[in-house]
Amino acid sequence: MRKPPRVLIVEDDLSVAELIAVNLRHNGFVSIIVFDGEAAQREVEAVVPDLILLDGMLSTGSGSGLLHQWRTDVRTQRIPILMLTARSEASDQVPGLDAGADDCLTKPFSTQELMARIKAVLRRRVPDIVSESIQVGELFLDTTTYRVTFRGDELKIGPTEFKLLHHFMKHAERVHTRGALLDRVWGDHVFIEERTVDVHVKRLRASLGAAAAMVETVRGAGYRLTVLHNVGEAVGKGSPANPG
């Protein structure tokens, strides 16, 4: 029998945390509530959860610090993370996405929207990709081991960026609009804005390092992955500092 998904709730507002936990339980999830970063880290070290709900502004400090810590740790870098923020402006969600969150949800939110976001994030997990190996120029991606290498050096790439790169590499030299990428990479994107694509492309380029220039911005259209004969000389094309 398949085990129910385990969700770690990192939220210092007890009433909010308990409301989330009740709804998770009614939808077949197992939930663990913690109120600060230290307790959250202890839980993650004990058992890696299937998903983390992270309050963006804990009373003990910003959730972005925890997010960065988990995204730089090999053991936790692929955990889907949904950040909860009290800010209302859509642009205020960008720092959370930029720090490594798979999605952001603004408080107050309905329980229906929360569950829809959770299920969408879990559906977008990397293991859903069919096992295969792809090579474009000197860039190599293996979905069996979830590894990406460039010129033989392994690159550290988050789960959403891995899926995005996989799509780019399967359709190299083709121009992809932001809307098309949402359809093909995110799938159920009813709650996701096109700006999210730009954030993840920026993160993908940062992860690719010397190969970042392979992901080009096509002005007025979208993005394209191309083979460059001299990557080192082409850094100006769609560099990490110019995400489009």
Q: Is residue 57 part of a domain?
A: yes
**Interval 93-99 mean pLDDT:** 67
Is pLDDT above 90 for 186? no
Final residue of a domain: which of 85, 105, 123?
Answer: 123
Q: What is the pLDDT of residue 2?
A: 56
* pLDDT band at 130; cut points 50, 70, 90: low
Q: What is the pLDDT of residue 94?
A: 62
Chain-centroid distance of CA 175 in Å reads 22
Final residue of a domain: which of 77, 95, 123?
Answer: 123
Final residue of a domain: which of 107, 123, 139?
Answer: 123
**Interval 137-164 mean pLDDT:** 90
Let me know whether 113 and 141 are in one domain: no
Highest mean pLDDT among 86-90, 104-108, 153-157, 187-191: 153-157
pLDDT, the chain, mean: 82
Burial of 147 (C-beta count, 10 Å sphere; 0-12/13-18/19+): middle
Let me know whether 108 and 159 are in one domain: no
Let me know whether 149 and 209 are in one domain: yes
Q: What is the pLDDT of residue 195?
A: 81
Q: Is residue 39 part of a domain?
A: yes
d(CA 244, CA 225): 14
- Other Cβ atoms within 10 Å of 179 Cβ, number: 12
Q: What is the pLDDT of residue 154?
A: 94
Q: What is the CATH number of the domain that holds 215?
A: 1.10.10.10
* pLDDT band at 109; cut points 50, 70, 90: confident
**Interval 77-93 mean pLDDT:** 73
- Residue 116's closest CA among 105, 128, 101, 126? 105
Let me know whether 92 and 189 are in one domain: no
Look at the block and give the residue holding tokens 């969600």: 93
39: CB partners within 8 A, 6+ apart? none
pLDDT-above-70 percentage for the chain:
81
Q: Domain limits at 134?
A: 127-234
Contact present, 142 and 135 (Cβ < 8 Å): no
Is pLDDT above 70 for 34? yes
Q: Is residue 243 part of a domain?
A: no
Q: Is residue 54 part of a domain?
A: yes
* pLDDT band at 39; cut points 50, 70, 90: very high
Q: What is the pLDDT of residue 240?
A: 41
Let me know whether 181 and 98 are in one domain: no
Let me know whether 16 and 111 are in one domain: yes
Let me know whether 113 and 14 are in one domain: yes
Q: How many domains does the chain have?
A: 2
Contact present, 188 and 233 (Cβ < 8 Å): no
Q: What is the CATH number of the domain that holds 49?
A: 3.40.50.2300
Let me know whether 22 and 118 are in one domain: yes
**Interval 143-163 mean pLDDT:** 89
CA dihedral 169, 160, 100, 12 (to 10 degrees): 180
Q: Is residue 89 part of a domain?
A: yes
